[in-house]
Amino acid sequence: MSDYPASYKGRFAPSPTGPLHAGSLVAALASYLDSKARGGKWLVRIEDVDTPRCIKGMDIVIMQQLAAVGLFSDETPVYQSQRSPLYQAALDKLIAQNKVYGCSCSRKDVAAAIAKANPSAKPRHGELVYPGTCQHGMTQQLAPSAQPAWRFITNGEVKSHIGDFVLKRADGCFTYQLAVVVDDALQGITHVVRGADLLDNTPRQMALQQALGYPTLQYLHTPLVMSEDGEKLSKQNGAQALDTSNPLQTLNIAAQALGLGQQNCSVAQALSTWTSHWELKRTQFS
Ligand SMILES: [Zn+2]
């Protein structure tokens, strides 16, 4: 695929739904070090496609947090909220190739169809595996002004574990899954380094890459940072915003989570030392 650069390009892609916390810095640092250790570029992308949950101005806060710990994007950050035409073009391509179908089911309809098909079925991670009700024609008549959701036709493990997932919702919003796959391909991303909590997304995104004729990326998943009570740190369960008043200390904590040694020097020197130690460390992750 000569359309895509062969050189390393990585990315960190936060959602502006809250400030970065200790866990997000681990993911940012890992992707940064992986890029720099291979002489590659590191990009920041703002994943604000899911607009209702995004907080105005939070993109700036996140950029300031990253700058405070010496992590700067090598290209001007792109915003998913400004890229809808690109996502629509990808969806149109899939529609033309019959790789998606329109779905008129409400959440209630999906739950009812699942209960009918398999009374003992339980949601996995709170997600319902869509049983493909609308694949051969929508079951409910849509109101004249209403739009269907668009579902991607899955196969194999993705079909049985996740089901035909939504690329564009009935409210017109593109989903994270579609936006990420399109952006990664169009930005020439070659490697994705992210927290193990996103491992579930990888098979879905690889299936979409294939359907769209994009190259398959290399994935690496880093360990999650747990809070003292053993919960995954996340914005949803109220993880504290990253304290950047002592940048080196903050970075040392993130580096420790990745198994890197503590540094007592400037932020720039610390990042450079960790970059030179990274190649050995990365082999511990998968
Ligand atoms: Zn449906």
Nearest to 255, CA basis, from 241, 269, 236 = 269
Q: What is the mean pLDDT of the chain?
A: 88
In a domain, 160, yes or no: yes
Q: Of 133, 168, 203, at which residue does a domain stop? A: 168
Whether residue 62 is found in the same domain as residue 128 = no
Ligand 1 center–CA 92 separation, angstroms: 19
Ligand 1 center–CA 141 separation, angstroms: 11
In a domain, 1, yes or no: no
Query: Tens digit of pLDDT for each residue in 225-248?
Result: 766 666 666 665 666 889 999 999
Whether residue 31 is found in the same domain as residue 73 = yes
* Per-residue pLDDT, 228: 63
Whether residue 204 is found in the same domain as residue 154 = no
* Per-residue pLDDT, 2: 36
Whether residue 91 is found in the same domain as residue 227 = no
Cα–Cα dist 166/152, whole Å: 6
In a domain, 181, yes or no: no
**Domain count across the chain:** 2
> Which residues of the chain are modeled with pLDDT < 50?
1-5
Whether residue 67 is found in the same domain as residue 203 = yes
In a domain, 3, yes or no: no
* Per-residue pLDDT, 127: 65
Whether residue 145 is found in the same domain as residue 213 = no
Whether residue 193 is found in the same domain as residue 149 = no
In a domain, 98, yes or no: yes
Ion ligand 1: residues, CB within 5 A, are 103, 105, 133-134
Q: Which domain holds residue 142?
A: 84-168
Ligand 1 center–CA 278 separation, angstroms: 46
Whether residue 54 is found in the same domain as residue 91 = no
Which phi and psi angles does 134 have, rounded to 5°?
A: -95, 5
- How far CA 178 is from CA of 26, 175, 213, 221, 266, in Å, comes to 25, 6, 14, 20, 40
Ligand 1 center–CA 133 separation, angstroms: 5
* Per-residue pLDDT, 124: 58
Ligand 1 center–CA 132 separation, angstroms: 7
Whether residue 74 is found in the same domain as residue 112 = no
Cα–Cα dist 242/24, whole Å: 9
* Per-residue pLDDT, 116: 81
Ligand 1 center–CA 80 separation, angstroms: 26
Whether residue 75 is found in the same domain as residue 198 = yes
The pTM (predicted TM-score) of the whole model is 0.88
Whether residue 32 is found in the same domain as residue 71 = yes
